[in-house]
Amino acid sequence: MSNNLDIASIRNDFPILNEIVNGKQLVYFDNAATTQKPRLVLDALSGYYEHYNANIHRGIHHLAEKATSAFELSRRRLQTFLNAPLSEEIIFTYGTTDGINLVASSYGRTFLKAGDEVIISTMEHHSNIVPWQMLCEEKGCILKVIPINDEGELLMDEYEKLLTERTKFVSVVHVSNSLGTINPVKQIIAKAHAVGAKVLLDGAQASSHLHLDVQDLDCDFYSLSLHKIYGPTGMGILYGKKELLDAMPPYRGGGEMIKEVTFEKTTYNELPYKFEAGTPNIADVVAAKYALDYVDTLGKPKIAAHEHKLLEYATEAVKDIHGLRIIGQAKEKVSVLSFVIDGIHHQDMGVLLDQQGIAVRTGHHCTQPLMRRFNITGTTRASFAVYNTIEEIDLLIQGLHKVKRMLG
Amino acid sequence: MTINEIQDELISDFELFDDWESKYEYIIDLGKQFPPLEEQYKTEDNIIKGCQSRVWLNAFMEGDLLKFEADSDAIIVRGLVSMLVKVLSGHTPREIASADLYFMERIGLHQHLAQTRSNGLASMLKQMKAYGVAFQANSFNTAK
C-alpha cells in the first residue's frame, strides 16, 4: 500500500471544489472554519430523508426503528473515534460551543462555588472563554489565564504556578484555531488532576488532524464539532466520563431526557438521553458516521502527513513576501497559516483574495484576547485540508503578490 | 445634484472598468483620496463595529442639509465609505431617510452591503438613514 494519498481522486469526492468563484476555480483555504463534505456524507443526508426519516427512540414503526438504529450506530462510531470506554459517554450536541456550555452550566453550577478557580488559556476561542466568565460571574469563581510566548505556545511553568488546591476546573483548547498550535494536553491534564481539578478539552480544531484517544489523554470532557471533520454542520458531541455525567444535573428540560413526568416531580432518563432533550439533529448525526468512515478510510496519519507537507511548503513560500509575519510559529502545529503583512488591513486582503477565487479567513477568528496579546486586530488565515494541493498554495502566493501590488 | 444623479454618475464611472482589478484599484484610490476623519470625531459614539474593520461616522447639520464625514481602518471599506458619503452627504434629512440606494448593486459591489458581520458598511448605511429620520423629526419639532 502506498504511503501517499491520491489527492486528485480525493478531490473528486468533494463536488463543491468544482465551484467557480468570481470567474476562477475555487481555492478553499478556510478549512479551520469548516471543512467541505465528501459525496458519501451528502448521499447519507439525502438517503436519510429519502428512505427512513422518522423521529427516533419512541416510534415502533419500521422507519422509526431504522432511524433509531442509524442514530445509535453513529454514537458507537463516535465512541470508537474517540476511544471512549462507553457509548453512553457520548452526548450529541449542536457543536463544540454547545458542549462547553453544557459542562460550564451543568457541572460548573453544581460543583463550583465562590472562590474556586477556573483556568483557561490566552489562545482560547470565545466559546471557551465566555461560558466560564458567565459561570464565574454567577458563582463568584475566579478565572485565571495561562499566558503564551511569542511563538504562540503555552507557558507551562506559568500554568503550574496557577494550579493550586483552589483550582477546580481547567478548560483549554487542544489545537488553536488562530495559530494552529498543538497544546501539550496530556501534560496539562495530568498536572490538573494532581491538584484535583477536572479538565475539558476544546477539540474543535484538533479532531480532523490528530489521533484522538480520551482514555490515553485521561481528559474528563472533550467537546468537538463534526462539521470540521468533513461532516455535517449543526452537530457535535461531548464526551464525558460516566461518573461525572451521572453526577451532573440535566442541562435542558424536555422530551427524551425524562423517565417520568408528573406535575409534582419529574425523574430523569439515564445517560446519554438525560442530556439530549428534544428531537435531536437526526439526519446530521446519521451522516456524521460516514464522515468518520471517510477520514478513517484515508487514514488520519496520512491526512496529517499531507497537511503537514502543505503547511511546510506554504510556510517556506510566504517568506518571499516582504513585510509578512507569521502569527503562530509553535514547534507543534497543524495546517494553519496565520499571518499579517505590514500596512495591509486583513479585510482588504480577504476581499482581494476572494476576487481571485481564494477563500481564506480574515479577522480575529473569535480570539480577540489572543489578538491583543500579539498587538494586532486580526490576521489572514489559510488553513489546509486533505483535498488541498501545492498548486493551490502557489495560487495563494501569486494572489498575495497581486494584493501587495494593488495596495502598495 | 440629487441623490439619484450622484448614484447614476458613479455607475457610469464604474462602467469604464471591465475587470475586477481596475474596479478595485479605483476603489482603493477613492479610499486613499478620501480625507481622514479628524481624530476628535473618532469616538466610541461614532464607531460602527464590524467583525473585521472599524468604521467611524460623524453627522451634523449645516443649514437645512445633513452632512456626513466618515473613516475606516481598511482601505477598500474606506473607498466604499467615501462613495456612500458622496451620495448621501449634503441632502435634506428627508431625502436621506427616503433614499433608494441602488448604485452598489449596479456596480456589482452589493456583497459589501450584505448582512454579514464582516464589515460595518451595512450598519453604516443604516445609521446614515437613521440620522436622516432623527434630524427630520428634530426639524419638524423645532419648526412647530
Q: Does residue A219 carry a catalytic annotation?
A: no
Rounded Cα–Cα distance for residues B128 and B57 (Å): 8
pLDDT at position A271 over 70: yes
Separation in Å, CA of B56 to nearest CA in chain A: 16
How confident is the model at residue B49, as a pLDDT? Answer: 74
Q: What is the DSSP letter of B1?
A: -
pLDDT at position A343 over 90: yes
Q: Does A346 touch chain B (CB under 8 A)?
A: yes
What is the rounded average pLDDT of the residues A257-261? 86
Q: Does A398 touch chain B (CB under 8 A)?
A: no
Residue B108 vs residue A97, higher pLDDT: A97
Sheet with B65-72, strands from edge to edge, namely B47-49, B54-62, B65-72
| DSSP line for A47-84 | HHHHH-----SS--SHHHHHHHHHHHHHHHHHHHHHT-
Q: Does A368 touch chain B (CB under 8 A)?
A: no
What is the rounded average pLDDT of the residues B93-121? 83
Residue B141 vs residue B120, higher pLDDT: B120
How confident is the model at residue B140, as a pLDDT? Answer: 58
**Which residue among B21, B24, B53 sits closest to A347, beta carbon to beta carbon?**
B53
Q: Per the structure block, which three cell numbers stand in for A356?
A: 481571485
Per-residue confidence band for B143, with pLDDT thresholds at 50, 70 and 90? very low
Residue A329 vs residue A256, higher pLDDT: A329
What is the rounded average pLDDT of the residues B116-140? 81
Cis peptide before A38 (omega within 30 of 0): no
Separation in Å, CA of B22 to nearest CA in chain A: 9
pLDDT tens per residue, range B3-20: 999 999 999 999 999 899
Q: Which residue is it, cell 463568584? A: A140
Q: Does A24 touch chain B (CB under 8 A)?
A: no
Backbone angles phi, psi at A180, to 5 degrees: 85, -5
Backbone angles phi, psi at A85, to 5 degrees: -65, -40
Rounded Cα–Cα distance for residues A408 and A343 (Å): 9
Q: What is the pTM of this model?
A: 0.93
How confident is the model at residue A1, as a pLDDT? Answer: 46
Per-residue confidence band for A59, with pLDDT thresholds at 50, 70 and 90? confident
Cβ-based interface (< 8 Å): residues of B facing A? 20-21, 24-25, 28, 51-53, 73-77, 112, 118-119
Backbone angles phi, psi at A336, to 5 degrees: -120, 125
Cα angle, residue B126 at apex, residues B120 and B131 outer, rounded to 5°: 120
pLDDT at position B30 over 90: yes
Q: Residue A210, by phi and psi: left (phi above 0), alpha (psi -120 to 50) or beta? A: beta
A407 interaction partners in chain B (CB closer than 8 Å): 28, 75
pLDDT tens per residue, range A194-228: 999 999 999 999 999 999 999 999 999 999 999 99
Using CA atoms, how far residue B69 sits from A130, A320, B96, in Å, is 36, 39, 15
pLDDT tens per residue, range A102-152: 999 999 999 999 999 999 999 999 999 999 999 999 999 999 999 999 999
Cα angle, residue A146 at apex, residues A140 and A149 outer, rounded to 5°: 155
pLDDT at position A366 over 50: yes
